[in-house]
Amino acid sequence: MCLALPAEIVSIDNSRETAIVALGPVKKEISIALLDEVSVGDFVLVHVGFALHRLSPEEADRTLALMREAGENPEKEFAEGDAP
């Protein structure tokens, strides 16, 4: 039901409109084509390989903590998701 995971932008390739994002130890490339301005260090909500929105570090922490408390493993989820 429309779950999206928060991740931190660690590098940006403006020519390809992609970014490497990290969730814990897991890194992957996603599209940033939907967002106007993103910077390294921003947190974004990732869904099917696209960054959908920026969110604050506090919101990202809160969401991930909630998933972990519920016994979920967001890092594993992130690693298994498809590229755009």
Partner 1 sequence: MTIAGRLDIDLTCRSGSSASARIASSRPRGVTRMFHGRRPAEVANLVPLVFGVCGMAQGAAAATACERALGIATSSETRRMRDSLLLAETAREHLLRVAMDWPRCMALATDPATLRQVMGLDQRFRQAMAGSGTVFEPGGVVRCDVAAIESAVADLGDLLETVVFGEPPDTWLARSTLADLGDWAHAGRLPAQLLLQRTLRSAALQIGSVSIDAVPDIDDVDLASMLFGENAEQFIALPTWEGRPRETTALSRQARHPLIQALGDGREHGIGARLVARLVELAGLPDRMTDLGEAGSLGSEGDETVDACGDGIGIARSEAARGRLIHGVEIQRGLVKRYLIVAPTEWNFHPEGAAARALAQIAGSGRSDARGLADLMITAFDPCVEYSLAVH
Residues of this chain that interact with partner 1 (CB under 8 A) are 1-5, 17, 33-36, 45, 47-48, 52-53, 55, 59, 62-63, 66-67, 69-70, 72, 74, 76-77, 80-82
| C-alpha separations of 61 from 10, 13, 16, 69 in Å | 16, 25, 28, 12
- Minimum Å gap between C-beta 20 and partner 1 is 19
**For residue 1, what are its two tokens?**
């039901």
Angle at 24 between CA 61 and CA 62, to 5 degrees: 10
Residue 10 or 33: the one with the smaller Cβ distance to partner 1 is: 33
Residue 25 or 82: the one with the smaller Cβ distance to partner 1 is: 82
